[in-house]
Chain A
Amino acid sequence: MYRYDEIDRELLKQRTAQFRDQTRRFLAGELSEEDFRQLRLRNGLYQQRHAPMLRISVPYGLLNSAQLRRMAHVVRKYDKGYGHFTTRQNIQLNWPQLAEVPDLLAELAEVQLHGIQACGNDTRNITCDYLAGVAGDELVDPRPYCELLRQFIALHPEFYWLPRKFKFGFTGATIDRAATRTNDAAVHVLRRDGAVGYRFFVGGGLGRLPLLGQEMNAFVPEADLLLYACAILRTFNRFGRRDNIHKARIKIVLREWGVERFRAAIEEEYAKIGASAEGGQLKLLPEDIGRMRGHFDAPPYRPAGEAAADLRAQAASDPRFAAWLKRNVRPHKSAGYRVVFVSLKAPEQAPGDCTAGQFEALAELCDAYSFGELRSTYDQNLVLADVAERDLYALWGRLDAVKLATPNIGLTTDIIACPGLDFCGLANAGTIGVTHDIYRRFDSLEAQYEVGPIRITMSGCMNGCGHHSVGHIGILGVDKHGEEWYQVTLGGSAGNDAAIGERVGRALSRSEIAGGVERLIRAYLELRSDEEETFIECYRRVGMEPFKARLYEAEGESGKPVPSESEERPPGESGQGARAGMARRGVAAA
């Protein structure tokens, strides 16, 4: 994991002081609400429904035990005792008080955590393959490149006021576990003829126009990471639309220009940078990369013989351990070691939520069993990446004791969901209650194992933080006449076979949606060619129609008139639906 030196520490210290002064000026009436808004966003502070929301960047999803302990402390001291892991591998706090945020950030800065560029129209936290460094299919460990790019984009003066947010996603493996092409820019680190380089995709994004990134350059040389990133960001800063916030992402420039013109513009700028003194400054030398790689050296693994254990015997004697071993434990590239997934999708828990006690337990467990480090995943779970087989049984018991061992990774109840209407100021509909309803219908592990791998994703509005567009079953909350309704999409995927889901038809009501999802899954069980065919494979083979027929089978049962689609509100407006939704679930206004 990257360890700050005095330059990093001094920069973060000064940044923290800068925001403390900005907050002081706002509270003293010296800064207007609108002027301050832009400054607080660039420090992770967003105005939510009830209180400010603080988004804490977790660079490419890596956390250490000291950071976890500090998280436990700050959620107790400044919040309501829990935090929330997001689809960008970050952590959000939902209840901090503005006047206390400078102190909170100062406490986080002591352990290399911050909210710099966590919100706002700037370059956001970089996401990355959560199995970086331990996956068998890895070509190049992407983490050193993530950190080199992080330092380039952090507080970059030219790109601090972009037309809209800009997200980078990295992988260095053959399997895309980071939904990279849903990012504004995807960077695939790879080798060609022995040389390291980057395959760049640009123009992806979820939200109201979900698109996958298009290939810009199949092989940018290793030394040119920052030159190419600079060319993309400069092109975006110059040509990104600023007249309409809904058309301001880089994907709109790409769509309006077409891929060829867009690629030509980026390549031209890349060539100009390369030919100038600026290019010389941005070019990375082998020693820069080597120095950074040193921060991500493999931990001192024990010899395979010392690490291995007879897991089969342990599993045979304890079926609950066996279930966990099967669902939440994956192979590791080093013999005798395994990758352990920590599920944040326990029953009656909001997907991604983590309590202070769980943060503390995770700190202890990663110290005891995984070299002091933990990773967050884009699907809102956690990973202990380096666990010796002989420690698995003890680790499982301790995870189980704090409700972090639900054996459901990749299954029906491993639902990705944004916080929805209960918290978010943009949401049109609730998500947490719906995830609970779906969960209850598939609570039995046998039922989930029968269904097998499936990705259900859910967003409370069109902005798509819950990745609904790339779910096998995607659910989008919409507001109609002050009520929460849910549109269903099918066939999306965020992996190597990335695809944007297709909308099935009319939205379902709050009372219908969980039943609708269950009917879709039952349809799959009937339609699949055999037990090996997964939901997404089955959908691609048979198409939408048989699923659509089942989804609307119960049509009319609710007896409610179905409002037309044109009456849906755009996201970002508050209205009747929001208040009605909150009242129904008894969410108290802060």
Chain B
Amino acid sequence: MRRILRKHAIVEDDWTLDDAARTPAGLIVPLARWRAERELLLASAAAIGVLLPNTEDVEAIYPQIADRPLIALQFPTFTDGRALTQAVLLRNRLGFAGELRALGDVVRDLVFWLGRCGFDAIVPRPDQDLEACRGALDELSVAYQPAADAHAAVWARRRMRASA
């Protein structure tokens, strides 16, 4: 079983990607399959997560996936930032509280930005060092703007400081 990053922990992955041959604890299926086989999939023993293309309008599709325990988003290349907007909208606007997983060309130098945008599960590219990826989550401890993590806006911090 491959190892992935979940929050700050390196863990064995308990999810499998669209594998009809096995019945793992968790199965991640592409959105198209979820829409086509929803009842069948729900009848299986496995937990079902959904993989969205990075061109998907998450606000439009959200009613169909809001109850899923896991949503996976894709990075065809690490420079394609569309899934970052999808993640921020899922977390901040739609209130998705399940696992948000980054898949694809996920390199160590993308990890910091993933964490800030609300991803809590990261599956690095196979050649990437997991320990280094874990370290990269905290590469910068200061941020100017709010995103989908704990950082407050710098202007809000300065308000507090001024009134202190």
Point out residues on A near B: beta carbons under 8 Å: 5, 7, 10-11, 14-15, 18, 22, 31, 35, 38-39, 121, 148, 151-162, 226, 234, 237-238, 242, 272, 276-278, 281-282, 284-285, 287-288, 291
Q: Is the CB of A238 within 8 A of B82?
A: yes
Q: Which residues of B contact A291 (CB under 8 A)?
A: 158, 162
Q: Is the CB of B88 within 8 A of A158?
A: yes
Q: Is the CB of A158 within 8 A of B84?
A: yes
Instruction: Name 25 A/B residue pairs within 8 A (Cβ), A-sorted.
Output: A5-B158, A7-B144, A7-B154, A10-B141, A10-B142, A11-B142, A11-B143, A14-B140, A18-B139, A35-B78, A38-B79, A151-B155, A152-B145, A156-B144, A157-B117, A160-B84, A161-B78, A162-B81, A237-B81, A238-B82, A238-B85, A242-B82, A272-B93, A281-B146, A282-B153
Q: Is the CB of A278 within 8 A of B93?
A: yes
Q: Which residues of A contact B116 (CB under 8 A)?
A: 157
Q: Is the CB of A158 within 8 A of B85?
A: yes
Q: Which residues of A contact B88 (CB under 8 A)?
A: 158
Q: Is the CB of A7 within 8 A of B157?
A: yes
Q: Is the CB of A160 within 8 A of B81?
A: yes
Q: Is the CB of A161 within 8 A of B113?
A: yes
Closest to A288 in B: B155
Q: Is the CB of B155 within 8 A of A148?
A: yes
- CB contact between A161 and one of B81, B143, B153 (< 8 Å): that residue: B81
Q: Which residues of A contact B154 (CB under 8 A)?
A: 7, 151
Q: Which residues of A contact B92 (CB under 8 A)?
A: 276-278
Q: How many residues of B contact A (CB 8 A)?
A: 33
Q: Is the CB of B140 within 8 A of A155?
A: yes
Whole-angstrom distance between the Cβ of B147 and the nearest chain A Cβ = 5
Q: Which residues of B contact A242 (CB under 8 A)?
A: 80, 82
Q: Is the CB of A151 within 8 A of B145?
A: yes
Main SS at interface, chain A: helix
Closest to B163 in A: A287
Q: Is the CB of A157 within 8 A of B147?
A: yes
> Is B73 in the interface zone, CB < 8 Å from A?
no
Q: Is the CB of B162 within 8 A of A158?
A: no
Whole-angstrom distance between the Cβ of B134 and the nearest chain A Cβ = 15
A155 to B146, CA, bound (A): 11
Closest to B114 in A: A157
- CB contact between B85 and one of A11, A14, A234, A276 (< 8 Å): that residue: A234
Q: Which residues of B contact A14 (CB under 8 A)?
A: 139-142
Within B81-115, the residues touching A (CB, 8 Å) are 81-82, 84-85, 88, 92-93, 107, 109, 112-113
- What string of 1s and 0s marks CB contacts (under 8 Å) between B111-133 and chain A? 01100110000000000000000
Q: Beyond A7-B157, A152-B145, A288-B159, list 16 extra A-B contacts (CB 8 Å).
A: A31-B109, A148-B155, A152-B144, A153-B145, A156-B145, A157-B84, A157-B117, A157-B143, A158-B81, A158-B84, A160-B84, A161-B84, A162-B81, A272-B93, A278-B92, A281-B146
Closest to A150 in B: B144
Closest 10 pairs between A and B when the two form their complex, measured CB to CB: A161-B81, A157-B116, A11-B142, A157-B113, A151-B144, A288-B155, A281-B146, A14-B140, A158-B84, A237-B85
Q: Is the CB of A160 within 8 A of B113?
A: yes
Q: Is the CB of B93 within 8 A of A276?
A: yes
A22 to B116, CA, bound (A): 19
Closest to B149 in A: A157
A281 to B146, CA, bound (A): 7
Q: Which residues of A contact B146 (CB under 8 A)?
A: 278, 281-282
